[in-house]
Every structure is written in C-alpha cells, then in structure tokens.
Chain A
C-alpha cells in the first residue's frame, strides 16, 4: 500500500493497467476467449468509444465553465444530421466541419438560455434535446425524402472515406510502397503465452486500422487537458466553473467565457454525432445516437471531470459493446474479469478495515463468478445498461473521490452576489 502511494500518478496508471492486463490475460488463458485482448477488439473498442469520448469531452468543457449540459444528446443528434448532410453534398470532411459548426450554434443557444436568460440548465438542456430531435426529423423529410438512398428517417450515403492508419513496424503499416513487418501482429498470435500476446494485441489495436477522425478525437484529450490546465484561457474557464465571482473580481468576463466554452462543448458533441453518421456508418438514421450523449455525460462524471478520466471511461464503456460486436461468446468472460477485479478491490478494502464494503465486494465477486458458470450468454440489455449502472455505483460509493466543479449548474449573474 505504502509503495503504491509513493508512485507518481503516471506510474500508478501504468501499474494499474498492467495489473488489469494481467487479469485479462489470466481470464483469457482460462476461458479461451482469445478475443478479449485481440487487436481487433481493441480497434473496434476505439471506434465505439470515440463518440462517447467526444460527448464526454463536451461535458468536461461545459461543466468546467459552470454549465450543466444535459443537451449533449441533442447536440450529438444535430451532429449526426449535419454531418451526413455535409458528407452527402460535399464529402466526408466537409460533413464533420458542418456538424461542428452546427453543434457550436446549438451550444451557443444553450449558453444564451442559461447565461443571458438565466434559465435552469437542466430545463434548457431538455428543451434542446426535444428541439434537436424534432428539427432533424423535420429536416430529414424536407431534404432526404425522395433522394436516392434517402428517406424520411435516413440520409443518402456520404461521399468519400476518411483513410485508415497503420503504424509502420508495429502493425504492418506502409512506408511508401514498402510494407513493414507486423511485429505486434506476430506476437499477438502466440496465444499460449501469458500476458505477452495480450499486451501485443492491445497495443496493436491502438496503432492499427484507426480512422483518422479517431486519431483527431484522441488527440483532443491531451489538447483539452493542456488548454484547461496549462493556459490562461483554461484557468479562466475553470475559475468560471469553480467561483465565477472570484474570476469576475479579477476582471474576467465570465459570460463571454461561458459562450466560448459552450461553443466548444457543442462542437465536440456534434463531432461525436458526425462520427456516428459519417465515419462509423455512412448515413444518418433517426435515433442513431441512442442515448450515447447521456453515456458521454456519465463518462464526464466517471472521469471526475478530467479529459483523461473521460478517455478511460469511454474505453471502459465502449469495451463490452465492442466485444459484443465481434463475438457474443466472449462477453461472459468479462464476468470473470469483474469477479477478479472485485476480489482485488475487496482485499484492498479489507486492508483498510472497511468490513461492510469488503463483504459487499466479495459477495459481488461471488455472484459475478457464479453467473459465469451458470449462464451461457450475457443478454444484450445488460451490456447496454452497464455504463449507467457503473455511474450510479460510482456516484453512490465514491462520492468522496469525485470533485465536480463547485459552481456547475448554480445560477449566476454577472455583477450580483457581491
């Protein structure tokens, strides 16, 4: 325990992820569910996780500036529609650009309602969700109905792709016309070894078959962290979410900051929507977001309002769905993973003398393991509900560790409360 505490945050993250890999590796050897650490699963996890990640970053920007954004879902819906429209008319990247532009406008609308008119943030968010759903359905009928490949609730296919990327040497990417060796791919196939093929698979998943928009989205994680914690603008954004009066007293225009941050938040959410309608598939479909905006909101909380936390949450929440996409047979192996992790957590809490928590964790672990041996397949609905349940559990159990921006959602008017 002491040793663990002496490590830096970065070292701790590495230690924890290695431990997690070890658990996955043991479970893989035990269950023969090779796909749980294959590069294919990891690259589809990234694909599934990208829109969630972007929605989560949208939540970080909004809440850090002090505005609760329930409207992420609506902003994503707007992104799916405008992304598909742009891709259909002018090509793939134009679609994403148009979506980001439209999303920023919706973000500004949310800011207008909450900042200028001091509307309850949750009410404004709900209104935006209703508006976005209604407006996109309306626009689809006007613009997509009767077009080739389009319909009342579906857009015609977008033009152009995005290009995929393989890292040279690690996953057999090309340098010019020469195909470099696929070192990680070779290592990944040595299934009998412990840990090594798992690490290779995960790493290869991160560097092979990635769409360029995914790379952009992942790059936005450190960029967001840098802007929010290392620049003057970021400091001011955070001050607006923690104590706007303090910022105001130092001459910061809180209202302008809130407009700017909400435009960014809306743009990010819409980028996530456009990813669904342009990159993940090539058409807009009504109801395509399916609550992913809310999962994004959940990752904002789960990630403790930090970009890297959101990234972790998006991967975690995307993983079961990706596994499900590839081969349903692998999903039950996750139950064993959960069981092992719960035992580990139980041991830690036992060392801290928290008897009730320890007992709960061990019972949870036993249930999870027993379920693995009793059922053959985990219903789709449980996979779908996991992010929401995890978020509720985190909120209920780890409230002390969570640190939301102090002023998020609280009505604020410039010049008052002094």
Chain B
C-alpha cells in the first residue's frame, strides 16, 4: 500500500463504487415512496445477471457506450467538454448509410470503408466546434449543444428529402437503401452480440496507449491540466484543441456503427438515439479511464438490458434512468469530496515529513 499510484486508483474506484451505492439507496427510497418494493425490484434487476442471454445483451448495449464514453473522455483529457457526440454520431450515421450503400466492395474492405466514412464525417462535424473554439473563441459546450440540434434538423431534412428508399417489405418504417451484405458487421452470437464489441475494446486499448503511452498523449494531458505551462514547453494549445476535437468526433462517428452495420443495416429515424449522449454519464462514472469506462459501460448496458424485467413486476423501467442521473450527480459530488480529503491527507503527510526532517537540524 505504499505505492501512491495504487493508492490513488483504490481511492477513485472506491468513490465510484460509493456513488453507485448511494444511487441505489436513493432509488430505493423513491421506490418505497411510490409504493413499490425496492428489495423485490433489485432482486429482479440484478437477479437476471446469471442468464447468458441477458449478459450478451448487456455487452451488446455496452458496445456503443464504450465508444461514446471514449469520445467524451478524450475531450475531458484536454479539458474540453464535447456534448456534441450525439450530433456527430447522427451525421456519421446518415453519411455512412448513404456512402456504404453506394459502393460495392468485398466484405472486409466494405466494412473498413464504412468505418472510415463514419470517422471522417463525425470528425468533420466535431471540427466545426473545434474551429469555432480555436479561431473565434466560442465555448465548445455551447457550440456543441447548438450543433447537436442543427445536426438533428439537417440529417432529418436530408434523409427525408433525398435518401429515403421505397420499402420493399411493405414495412411502414422509412429507411435508406439497405447496405449490401458485404458491409454487415458479423455477429459473435447471432442477433444477440455484435462483433463491434471487439472494435469498442480496441478503441479503449488504443485510447489508453494514445493518451498514456505516447508523447502526443502526454502533451494532451499536460495542455489540458495547464495550458499556459505546456505552451511554454512548445505545445500549441490551439492545435491540441483542434486535434482532440477531431479525434473525439472520429470516435463519435463510430458510436452508431453497431446499430447501423450490425443491426438495422440502413438509416432510419431514432437509430441509435441517445447513445452518444449516454456516453457522458459513462465517462464520468469511469473517471475518463479506459478500464473505468469499460466497467461503467457494462453497468449501464446491464441496467438497460435488465430494466425490462422490472415491468414484469409492475415497476416502471424508467427508474434506471433516474438511477443514471443520480449516479452522475453522486459520482461528481463524491469525487470532489474525496479529492479534497485526499489533498488534505497528502498535505498532512508532507507536513509531517517536513517536521521530522526539520527536527534533527
């Protein structure tokens, strides 16, 4: 326990666990007040954990969450708040659905092509916010919120006016032209777990290597922690803002690909809805660390998958949305409190060390 890095890691994971526990307690109170039995609710909710089907579904739901959380986290590392993952994802979804259906390539290349298109279009949309920040000094929180709505309208309009295809199956749901099978991302478990799961893992690994093991990552973190100081060492903060925004947008472009390439195979309204937005909660709970993101994404994926069970015992599944909100609030509050406590602990230790060093002299 002497290792300070290990200590810090233990402290952070303990505080995240505490946040989840607090959220569970508050939700139990809400359930009690509204006349539901919390013990029965949680037994149903977490009792499903033993079933393979539910676990596969949870992993499948965790896939886009991991990627969108990584997209948010890479911004956070640079002190940027990219709330625009949802909009960037939406732009990328339509662009990829259209471009992917227009070309004819052998299977692995076709998928690769789609992924590249998704990343490029997501990066372009995020690049607008990056450009506004670098060139015009516009706060990225505001610009990405506004761009989310612009993206929503723009994509809805473009889809409605140019890209809707006549339905062949007589289904009422309007879609774009279906992607050829060569662009379908294969399932690991048929219709339950899509192969994009491995892409998400790969994204998290690359995220770790890039941010913690490369010179660029060091500059990114340094620039985020103290832009002025790192500028003195020759890191151009504007360049870092632009690059991290583009990277974040490129990842955001991948968020919807499990739904597009692995499930529906065409663009439709509401496809992958909220998946970009939910990444913010996952990134906050996971403390912007790949391992934390992985675990949090699994938790949220599981909650989403198992929440349907609650309805069987007449409890609205929306309690899990409330839980998500409370987790986000609790995790940041507890982090702040723990950080203060930790700072004091370190200060205290340093003071003691100074005293004992001063006595012999």
Which residues of A come within 8 Å of B, CB atoms? 68, 70, 113, 117-120, 122-124, 126-135, 137-139, 141-142, 291, 294, 297-298, 301, 379, 381-382, 384-385, 388-389, 391-392, 395-397, 399
List A contacts of B326 (CB < 8 A): 127, 131
Contact of A70 with B324 at beta-carbon distance under 8 Å, contacts A122-B81, A385-B153 already known: no
Q: Could you tell me if A381 and B154 are in contact, using CB atoms closer than 8 angstroms?
A: yes
Q: Could you tell me if A392 and B153 are in contact, using CB atoms closer than 8 angstroms?
A: no
Task: A129-B325, A388-B147, A396-B136 are known; give 6 further A-B pairs, CB within 8 A.
Answer: A68-B141, A119-B333, A123-B284, A385-B153, A395-B136, A399-B137
Q: Could you tell me if B153 and A381 are in contact, using CB atoms closer than 8 angstroms?
A: yes
Q: Which of B203-211, B235-243, B314-322 lies at the binding interface? A: B314-322
Beta-carbon nearest neighbor of B157 in chain A: A381
Interface flag for B138 (CB, 8 Å):
yes
Q: Could you tell me if A117 and B147 are in contact, using CB atoms closer than 8 angstroms?
A: no
Within 8 A of A (CB), among B136-175: 136-139, 141-143, 145-147, 149-150, 152-154, 156-157, 160-161
| A392 to B131 Cα, complex, angstroms | 12
| A387 to B328 Cα, complex, angstroms | 29
29 A-B pairs in the complex with CB atoms less than 8 angstroms apart: A70-B141, A113-B332, A119-B336, A126-B280, A133-B321, A134-B319, A134-B323, A135-B322, A135-B325, A137-B318, A137-B321, A138-B34, A138-B322, A139-B34, A141-B318, A301-B142, A379-B161, A384-B149, A385-B150, A388-B150, A389-B146, A392-B146, A392-B147, A395-B132, A395-B142, A396-B132, A396-B136, A396-B138, A399-B136
| A68 to B319 Cα, complex, angstroms | 27
Q: How far is the CB of A135 from chain B (nearest CB, A)?
A: 5
Q: Could you tell me if A395 and B138 are in contact, using CB atoms closer than 8 angstroms?
A: yes
Interface flag for B83 (CB, 8 Å):
yes
Q: Contacting A395 at CB < 8 Å: which of B34, B143, B284, B332?
A: B143
Contact of A384 with B318 at beta-carbon distance under 8 Å, contacts A113-B329, A130-B324 already known: no
List B contacts of A122 (CB < 8 A): 81, 83, 141
Beta-carbon nearest neighbor of A135 in chain B: B322
Interface flag for B225 (CB, 8 Å):
no
Q: Could you tell me if A130 and B150 are in contact, using CB atoms closer than 8 angstroms?
A: no
Q: Contacting A119 at CB < 8 Å: which of B34, B139, B322, B329?
A: B329
With most chain B CB atoms within 10 A of its CB, the pick from A131, A134, A382 is A134
Beta-carbon nearest neighbor of B328 in chain A: A127
Q: Could you tell me if B280 and A384 are in contact, using CB atoms closer than 8 angstroms?
A: no
Interface flag for B281 (CB, 8 Å):
yes
Q: Contacting B333 at CB < 8 Å: which of A117, A131, A142?
A: A117
List A contacts of B324 (CB < 8 A): 130, 134
List B contacts of A70 (CB < 8 A): 141, 145
Which residues of B come within 8 Å of A, CB atoms? 30, 34-35, 81, 83, 132, 136-139, 141-143, 145-147, 149-150, 152-154, 156-157, 160-161, 280-281, 284, 316, 318-326, 328-329, 332-333, 336-337
List A contacts of B136 (CB < 8 A): 395-397, 399
Q: Contacting A138 at CB < 8 Å: which of B280, B318, B329?
A: B318
| A417 to B221 Cα, complex, angstroms | 25
With most chain A CB atoms within 10 A of its CB, the pick from B149, B161, B284, B323 is B149
Beta-carbon nearest neighbor of B132 in chain A: A396
List B contacts of A138 (CB < 8 A): 30, 34, 316, 318-319, 321-322
| A301 to B320 Cα, complex, angstroms | 34
List A contacts of B325 (CB < 8 A): 127-132, 134-135
Q: Could you tell me if A131 and B150 are in contact, using CB atoms closer than 8 angstroms?
A: no
List A contacts of B323 (CB < 8 A): 134
| A298 to B146 Cα, complex, angstroms | 8
Q: How far is the CB of A329 from chain B (nearest CB, A)?
A: 19
List B contacts of A119 (CB < 8 A): 329, 332-333, 336
List A contacts of B281 (CB < 8 A): 126, 130
Q: Could you tell me if A141 and B153 are in contact, using CB atoms closer than 8 angstroms?
A: no
Q: How far is the CB of B38 from chain A (nearest CB, A)?
A: 14
Q: Could you tell me if B143 and A382 are in contact, using CB atoms closer than 8 angstroms?
A: no
Beta-carbon nearest neighbor of A295 in chain B: B149
Q: Could you tell me if A117 and B336 are in contact, using CB atoms closer than 8 angstroms?
A: yes
With most chain A CB atoms within 10 A of its CB, the pick from B146, B284, B321 is B146
Q: Contacting A142 at CB < 8 Å: which of B34, B132, B160?
A: B34
List A contacts of B142 (CB < 8 A): 297, 301, 391, 395
List B contacts of A381 (CB < 8 A): 153-154, 156-157, 160
Contact of A294 with B149 at beta-carbon distance under 8 Å, contacts A130-B281, A131-B326, A137-B318 already known: yes
Q: Could you tell me if A130 and B321 are in contact, using CB atoms closer than 8 angstroms?
A: yes
Q: Could you tell me if B318 and A391 are in contact, using CB atoms closer than 8 angstroms?
A: no
| A122 to B284 Cα, complex, angstroms | 12
| A131 to B316 Cα, complex, angstroms | 15
| A388 to B151 Cα, complex, angstroms | 10
Contact of A123 with B153 at beta-carbon distance under 8 Å, contacts A128-B325, A395-B142 already known: no
Q: Contacting A297 at CB < 8 Å: which of B137, B145, B153?
A: B145
Q: How far is the CB of A99 from chain B (nearest CB, A)?
A: 19
Q: Could you tell me if B146 and A117 are in contact, using CB atoms closer than 8 angstroms?
A: no
Q: Which 9 A-B pairs have the closest CB atoms?
A: A134-B321, A131-B325, A385-B153, A381-B157, A130-B325, A381-B153, A141-B316, A134-B322, A127-B328
| A70 to B147 Cα, complex, angstroms | 15
| A133 to B318 Cα, complex, angstroms | 9
Q: How far is the CB of A245 from chain B (nearest CB, A)?
A: 20
| A141 to B322 Cα, complex, angstroms | 14
Contact of A391 with B153 at beta-carbon distance under 8 Å, contacts A130-B321, A131-B326 already known: no
Contact of A137 with B316 at beta-carbon distance under 8 Å, contacts A131-B325, A301-B142, A385-B150 already known: yes
Q: Could you tell me if B138 and A131 are in contact, using CB atoms closer than 8 angstroms?
A: no
| A297 to B83 Cα, complex, angstroms | 15
Contact of A379 with B157 at beta-carbon distance under 8 Å, contacts A294-B149, A388-B147, A392-B132 already known: yes
List A contacts of B333 (CB < 8 A): 113, 117, 119
Q: Could you tell me if B83 and A134 are in contact, using CB atoms closer than 8 angstroms?
A: no
| A399 to B161 Cα, complex, angstroms | 35
| A68 to B83 Cα, complex, angstroms | 15
| A297 to B139 Cα, complex, angstroms | 13
| A142 to B36 Cα, complex, angstroms | 10
| A273 to B345 Cα, complex, angstroms | 46
| A392 to B154 Cα, complex, angstroms | 15
Contact of A118 with B321 at beta-carbon distance under 8 Å, contacts A298-B146, A388-B146, A395-B142 already known: no
Q: How far is the CB of B322 from chain A (nearest CB, A)?
A: 4
List A contacts of B149 (CB < 8 A): 291, 294, 384-385, 388
| A119 to B328 Cα, complex, angstroms | 11
List B contacts of A291 (CB < 8 A): 149
